[in-house]
């Protein structure tokens, strides 16, 4: 009797392990780039956009796969309940994707142009609703090191405190880059904006950086030093420095508008001409500055 129990116990035990292993293999394979990008979907264009984006190749040499961004818990270690949720999510998505593959494919240029905006919006709102769960599975916003890390920690700290995240408010073209950004030579701000920025600058920054931005206690913010710091960088990098560490140095807290005004003044002083529209929110800061 005991022998039978042991025998069947072992058989059930082993097949249970095998079943879990097979399920998990299927879960992993159906989130892989090979599967999502080529095997089953008509994903040529999203795949090409992904190849041009920062998550396919980057200075760290760490690649994020389709599933790690698009499927909850693939970028973090799921608990048992989360794993069940993951299976449900995948079953639901999988069924819909198969239906779309045959009935509403996005393989041709026209189909893609027609559906892209809707697909993008759907995924954007999924992330917003779920507090950017997949992004935060990889990115711990308190763990920055290296150049400008103080700024990066400061800039994300309010989000961490409030536990609400909207990465796209400041970071665009994160998963897929369809058009490589080109540096503009100005036109980001209005002249009025630069003059309100000048007032703030003279009152709160000039004592360290000089009335004419020539430097003093802090570095010069003009000409060669400016180019060295920000040539080819995103406007976002300049803004982050001002609204983060420099506001702290100045003993101030800026509204987004005030810090954008100061950015405008610095752009103007570095020969990047004004345009007709004001720099109004952080979404506009993904543009690149000219490298020389």
What is the smallest separation between the CB atom of 278 and ligand HEC, expressed in angstroms? 18
What is the smallest separation between the CB atom of 220 and ligand HEC, expressed in angstroms? 10
Asked whether position 249 contacts ligand HEC by CB under 6 A, the answer is: yes
- Number of residues located near ligand HEC, criterion CB under 6 A: 72
Among 40, 52, 54, 275, binds ligand HEC (CB under 6 A): 54
Closest residue to bound ligand HEC by CB: 175
Q: Is 67 exposed, middle or buried (0-12, 13-18, 19+ CB in 10 A)?
A: buried
Closest to ligand HEC by CB, 85 or 171: 171
Asked whether position 209 contacts ligand HEC by CB under 6 A, the answer is: yes
Asked whether position 245 contacts ligand HEC by CB under 6 A, the answer is: yes
Distance between CA 194 and CA 38 in Å, rounded?
49
8 A C-beta contact, residue 210 and residue 220 = yes
Asked whether position 268 contacts ligand HEC by CB under 6 A, the answer is: no
216 CB-near residues (< 8 Å, 6+ apart): 207, 208, 209, 210
Asked whether position 100 contacts ligand HEC by CB under 6 A, the answer is: no
Distance between CA 154 and CA 192 in Å, rounded?
29
What is the smallest separation between the CB atom of 11 and ligand HEC, expressed in angstroms? 38
User: What would the x/- binding string for ligand HEC be over residues 127 to 166, using CB under 6 A?
Assistant: -----x-xxxxxx--------x---x--xx--x-----xx
Among 66, 71, 86, 260, binds ligand HEC (CB under 6 A): 66
From the list 4-12, 80-88, 89-97, 217-225, the region that binds ligand HEC by CB under 6 A is 217-225
Helices (H), the chain: 2-29, 33, 44-51, 66-70, 80-103, 109-129, 133-138, 149-162, 191-204, 206-209, 223-230, 235-241, 247-250, 256-269
Phi, psi of 22 (to 5 degrees): -65, -45
């Amino acid at each position: 009797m005991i022998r039978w129990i042991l025998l069947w116990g072992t058989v059930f035990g082993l097949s249970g392990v095998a079943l879990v292993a097979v399920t998990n293999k299927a879960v992993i394979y159906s989130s892989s780039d090979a599967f999502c990008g080529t095997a089953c979907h008509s994903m040529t264009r999203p795949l090409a956009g992904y190849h041009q984006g920062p998550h396919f190749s980057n200075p760290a040499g760490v690649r994020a796969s389709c599933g790690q961004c698009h499927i909850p818990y693939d970028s973090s270690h799921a608990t048992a309940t989360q794993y069940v949720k993951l299976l449900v999510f995948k079953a639901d998505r999988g069924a819909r994707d198969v239906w779309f593959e045959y009935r509403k494919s996005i393989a041709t240029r026209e189909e893609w142009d027609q559906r892209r905006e809707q697909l993008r919006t759907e995924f954007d709102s999924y992330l917003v609703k779920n507090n950017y769960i997949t992004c935060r599975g990889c990115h711990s916003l308190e763990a920055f090191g290296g150049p400008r890390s103080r700024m990066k920690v400061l800039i994300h700290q309010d989000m961490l405190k409030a536990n609400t995240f909207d990465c796209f408010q400041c970071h665009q073209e994160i998963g897929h880059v369809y058009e490589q950004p080109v540096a503009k030579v100005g036109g980001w701000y209005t002249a009025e904006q630069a003059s309100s920025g000048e007032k703030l600058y003279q009152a709160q920054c000039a004592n360290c950086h000089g009335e004419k931005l020539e430097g003093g206690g802090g570095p010069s913010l003009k000409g060669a030093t400016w180019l060295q710091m920000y040539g080819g960088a995103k406007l976002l990098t300049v803004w982050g420095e001002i609204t983060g560490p420099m506001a702290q140095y100045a003993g101030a807290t800026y509204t987004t508008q005030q810090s954008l005004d100061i950015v405008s003044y610095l752009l103007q002083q570095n020969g990047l001409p004004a345009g007709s529209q004001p720099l109004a929110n952080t979404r506009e800061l993904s543009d690149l500055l000219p490298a020389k």
